[in-house]
């Protein structure tokens, strides 16, 4: 049994981390929810029992074996070293350490063995990159992968609890004819789409888009993979969808790709479009798997395939993947 | 002055056609709204005066000079020949005639001269293809265009008035905790995205996606242009957004592309991402122009560019473009 801290326990991802620990029966001897001073003393439910939130500070990790962090980059940088110092292994959902060459960035279905080399911190990938690599790894292994072009349809829960509230309040306001001013996003998200997630770089790509590219390369072990992403926020609560076009080294037919993906770990193929069956954000919400469909040969490239990938961004895109990393640590003896 | 019929006048696009005729001061001596039997006798407003809806039948076009059709493919096929027989020039918004080699398919900013060769019917393009070619034509002319990969974010008004009602009712129901069953779409559209517009072909592409490819090739005069589209419905009322990646023949920098597009007809460049300025569906609603932004060099291709294109699907994607074709007919003496 393990003593598990969840840093950022009162946030959207932190809350799901606790649910996923319960659902998957992770062997927890003590759950220690941590949050900012504002939430100190609040009680969260864990396996039907109240569990008091402690303040996230340098002394919060005494005796902890595994610390799941979903507290943002600044707090990860501030407190992850203290957690490691106290003897915990940190699994961090922020982008703080993802591209650090000594930190493994892991989706267990794709590169579980990278966990073995950790030095106390393991990074959990971006919520677009995680489902993407689950779907692309079997293809890359089978026929080689050269290029990925992606446009995303990302739900507001990826931004956090305040964004969920903003979408709800703004939508209700729009229906009633008196819409509140946007606060979380720079523009209204109700009945709109925003081609803007994270801040813009000099190359015109956003931080989110650059993360998708860099993290995909790192996890796939393909440093030269060419990736271009356009990341877009849509008025959906839960579930990120991705329109993906890839170029492989050897040609793969749609049927070959479908067969390859049907047997792949963590993936569910839903691809009977004539029966109106394809992955949908609302169906993926609350599910741990990655869903893929609309698999077709790209009419614009002889070695191209188009795919539609959907996953619950709070689960496979965040909490579930973090708990899976914790499971690997435990079952493989890498703790 | 011209006698103008609007077939499908009580639909979402037909209504906007009448508004655009008013707004642009088209020289109308008689406006004749036509619709199915169900709407016969209804009164529509035109320039502040009531205008009675007549039944769309073979005898409805007597004396008409220009017939704007937005009544769907079956009615276009049934009644456009009668309108031509009666001496009218038909501008049809359905897909019925678009790929007919003797029918010009026109966006005036792109291939106005094709109108000259009409034999009575001119086709108005698909609502994704029309904005796309406005943005791509200046680039194709300057440096050549080889490939287009597109993912769309299409509003429900593209489906019609019933879909606007469905989104509104479903959203209100979802907020109140009792969501009505979907009727227009096969799945809920409220707080969801649907990778399904039109019916699926054997190649896995939808009819909508195939239209975007074929119509783009035809209007650009580039029969070998490689195009792949993924068309997706989003919970937005008005305005289609498009994430577009192109490969040009000669390299074009983002800055060169921006300068090229800033002077182009029908286009507005909104591209100051650091100031949160980029095209948005809600801002484009009610506007006649095509908006383009997020112009950047594609990090995955040496001659690639990424663009974000937005237009009001009922206007530049339908009604405005049809009225512009009517204007060309009149001003160039091609009637």
Q: Residue A306: what are its φ and ψ, rounded to 5°?
A: -110, 140
Burial class (CB within 10 angstroms; exposed 0-12, middle 13-18, buried 19+) of A201: middle
Domain co-membership, A80 together with A166: no
- Taking only the tens place, the pLDDT of each residue in B156-188 is 999 999 999 999 999 999 999 999 999 999 999
Domain co-membership, B181 together with B43: no
Q: Which of B127, B196, B231, B301 is catalytic?
A: B127
- A228 and B168 within 8 Å at the Cβ level: the answer is no
Strand partners, A268: A291
- A228 and B148 within 8 Å at the Cβ level: the answer is no
Task: Taking residues A63-84, report their average pLDDT.
Answer: 98
Domain co-membership, A140 together with A100: no
Q: Residue B229: what are its φ and ψ, rounded to 5°?
A: -120, 145
* Site from A195, A217, A252, A301 to mutate, B interface, most B CB atoms within 10 angstroms: A195
What's the pLDDT score for residue B263? 87
Q: What is the ipTM of this complex?
A: 0.97
* Site from A299, A307, A313 to mutate, B interface, most B CB atoms within 10 angstroms: A299
- A235 and B191 within 8 Å at the Cβ level: the answer is yes
Residues of A in contact with B293 (CB under 8 A): 195
Q: What global pTM score does this model have?
A: 0.97
Task: Look up the CATH number of the domain holding residue A134.
Answer: 3.30.360.10
* Site from B165, B223, B228, B277 to mutate, A interface, most A CB atoms within 10 angstroms: B228
Pairing status of strand B290-297 against strand B304-311: antiparallel
- Report residue B98 as tokens: 């678009």
Q: How confident is the model at residue A263 (pLDDT cuts 50, 70, 90)?
A: confident
Q: In chain B, which residue's Cα lies nearest the Cα of A156?
A: B191
What's the pLDDT score for residue B205? 98
- Do residues B298 and B306 touch, judged by C-beta distance below 8 A? yes
What's the pLDDT score for residue A54? 98
CB-hemisphere CA count at 13 Å for A284? 40
Domain co-membership, B21 together with B102: yes
Intervals of chain B under pLDDT 50: none
d(CA A238, CA A32): 26
Residue A135 neighbours by CB distance under 10 Å = 28
The residue written with tokens 């993979």 in the block is: A225
- A203 and B299 within 8 Å at the Cβ level: the answer is yes
Domain co-membership, B116 together with B161: no
Residues of A in contact with B237 (CB under 8 A): 191
- Do residues B2 and B29 touch, judged by C-beta distance below 8 A? yes
d(CA A127, CA A93): 9
Element (H, E) at B68: strand B66-69
Nearest to B226 among A149, A153, A301 (CB): A301
- Report residue B203 as tokens: 């190649």
Under 8 Å CB pairs connecting chains A and B tally to 168
- A306 and B254 within 8 Å at the Cβ level: the answer is no
- Taking only the tens place, the pLDDT of each residue in A103-134 is 999 999 999 999 999 999 999 999 999 999 99
- Do residues A65 and A91 touch, judged by C-beta distance below 8 A? no
Q: Strand, helix or coil at A220?
A: helix
Domain co-membership, A153 together with A281: yes
Q: In chain A, which residue's Cα lies nearest the Cα of B149?
A: A300
- B276 and A203 within 8 Å at the Cβ level: the answer is no
Residues of A in contact with B297 (CB under 8 A): 203-204
Residues of B in contact with A175 (CB under 8 A): 168, 171-172, 175
Please name the residue ranges forming H helices in B1-128: 12-23, 73-85, 108-111
- Whether B51 is catalytic is no
Domain co-membership, A193 together with A107: no
Domain co-membership, B50 together with B196: no
- Do residues B169 and B182 touch, judged by C-beta distance below 8 A? no
Task: Look up the CATH number of the domain holding residue B327.
Answer: 3.40.50.720
- Whether B127 is catalytic is yes
Domain co-membership, A37 together with A165: no
d(CA A264, CA B335): 60
Residue B313 neighbours by CB distance under 10 Å = 32
Domain co-membership, B287 together with B161: yes
Domain co-membership, B108 together with B6: yes
Domain co-membership, B33 together with B92: yes
Domains contained in chain B, number: 2
What's the pLDDT score for residue B269? 98
* Closest CA of chain B from A52, distance in Å: 31
The domain containing residue A115 runs over which residues?
Answer: 2-125+318-331
d(CA B111, CA B98): 14
* Closest CA of chain A from B141, distance in Å: 20
Q: Which of A127, A196, A231, A301 is catalytic?
A: A127
- Taking only the tens place, the pLDDT of each residue in A158-184 is 999 999 999 999 999 999 999 999 999
């Amino acid at each position: 049994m393990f003593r598990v801290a969840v840093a950022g326990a009162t946030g959207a991802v932190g809350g799901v981390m606790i649910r996923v620990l319960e659902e998957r029966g992770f062997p927890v001897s003590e759950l220690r929810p941590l949050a900012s001073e504002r939430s100190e003393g609040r009680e969260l439910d864990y396996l039907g029992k109240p569990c008091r939130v402690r303040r996230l500070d340098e002394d919060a990790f005494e005796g902890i074996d595994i610390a799941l962090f979903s507290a943002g980059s600044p707090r990860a940088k501030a407190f992850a070293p203290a957690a490691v110092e106290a003897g915990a292994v940190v699994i961090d959902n922020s982008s703080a350490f993802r591209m650090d060459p000594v930190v493994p960035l892991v989706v267990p279905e794709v590169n579980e063995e990278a966990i073995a080399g950790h030095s106390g911190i393991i990074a959990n990938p971006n919520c677009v990159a995680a489902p993407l690599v689950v779907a692309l790894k079997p293809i890359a292994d089978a026929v080689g992968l050269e290029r990925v072009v992606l446009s995303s349809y990302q739900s507001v829960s990826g931004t956090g609890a305040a964004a969920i509230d903003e979408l709800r309040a703004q939508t209700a306001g729009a229906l009633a004819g008196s819409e509140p001013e946007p606060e979380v996003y720079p523009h209204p998200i109700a009945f709109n789409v925003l081609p803007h997630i994270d801040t813009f770089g000099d190359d015109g790509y956003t931080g989110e888009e650059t993360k998708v590219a860099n993290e995909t390369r790192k996890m796939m072990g393909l440093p030269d993979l060419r990736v271009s992403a356009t990341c877009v926020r849509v008025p959906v609560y839960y579930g990120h969808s991705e329109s993906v076009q890839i170029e492989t080294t050897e040609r793969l037919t749609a049927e070959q790709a479908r067969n390859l993906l049907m047997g792949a770990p963590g993936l569910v193929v839903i691809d009977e479009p004539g029966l109106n069956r394809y992955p949908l954000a609302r169906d993926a919400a609350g599910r741990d798997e990655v869903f893929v469909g609309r698999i077709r040969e790209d009419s614009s490239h002889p070695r191209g395939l188009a795919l539609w990938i959907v996953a619950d961004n709070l689960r496979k895109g965040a909490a579930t993947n973090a708990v899976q990393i914790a499971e690997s640590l435990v079952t493989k003896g890498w703790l």
